[in-house]
Amino acid sequence: MKKYLSLFVVLAMVVFLGSNWVKVVQAEDEKRFLGNPGVKIDLSDENENEEDSDNDEDGLLNDKDQDDDNDGILDSKDEDDDNDGKSDDEEQELKNEAIEKAIEAIREEAKQKIEALRESIKNEKDEVKAKIKELRITGREKALERFDKAITRMTDLKTKVNEKITDLETKGVDTVAAKAFVATAETKLTDAKSKIAEMNSLLAQSIEKLTLEQKTKLRTLTQDTQKLIVDAHKALRNAVKSLKDEVKAKIEKEVEDNDNE
């Protein structure tokens, strides 16, 4: 019994994760985003027919092909899918860093423009108009801040899931599926940040009222960002569920092995 007692403790911790801090974030975000009847969320898989193609043109469809890049290494063990000398994790990390830098540059530029717009209000002699312009800028900043806070919550949640993955790996728990879900969440969050950067740029163009075209663009960006954040949250919840299932499976296997000894 002592042999797998620690895993029972770990399972309890993971269950606690799934039933507490995940639910807290879920309640906040689903109330904020899913509660908006104007936002329709399509969770269908855009790549659902990918298995019907043959990426490496070797005569085997992707769902049957265990060596997609035809390099003699099975996909399950291949850490360099495009054979460029860099592991897939390294390549993805470099891509993410480049994207993050580009997003940060866009946001910094937008921030400077907004500050310039605020400074220009000082030249407005009509106090009423000046007040309206100030409120307009403040309102836009608060709208963007709402998304930033949602991204921060999801990022914090992702960090906690990654920490639990690292902990369970040391105990011999299979974390492959959980890592895949986290990777999906990371992609969704990066895409969401990109959309938010676009909103920053749009709202920093002028201190005047938004045109109909700008309003339409902003509405689309808002809906896209909401969906991406919800999808990221869903992927992280799936990661937690996967960890719970794998811990349970490991405990059951050890119990069975112990009974057979």
Specify if 241 maps to a domain: yes
Q: For residue 248, what pLDDT is reported? A: 92
Specify if 235 maps to a domain: yes
Specify if 86 maps to a domain: no
Q: For residue 117, what pLDDT is reported? A: 85
Specify if 185 maps to a domain: yes
Specify if 193 maps to a domain: yes
Residues in the chain predicted with pLDDT less than 50, given as ranges, are 2-3, 9, 15-48, 50
Q: For residue 229, what pLDDT is reported? A: 95
Specify if 46 maps to a domain: no
Query: What token pair was written down for 195?
Result: 């959309």
Three-class secondary structure of residue 37 per DSSP: coil
Specify if 7 maps to a domain: yes
Q: In angstroms, rounded to a whole number, what is the distance separating the alpha carbons of residues 211 and 10?
A: 55
The count of structural domains within the chain is 1
Q: For residue 83, what pLDDT is reported? A: 58
Under a CB-based contact definition with an 8 Å cutoff, are residues 161 and 236 in contact? yes
- Residue 137 is part of which domain span? 2-25+101-260
Q: For residue 74, what pLDDT is reported? A: 55
Q: For residue 221, what pLDDT is reported? A: 95
Under a CB-based contact definition with an 8 Å cutoff, are residues 36 and 226 in contact? yes
Specify if 201 maps to a domain: yes
Q: For residue 63, what pLDDT is reported? A: 60
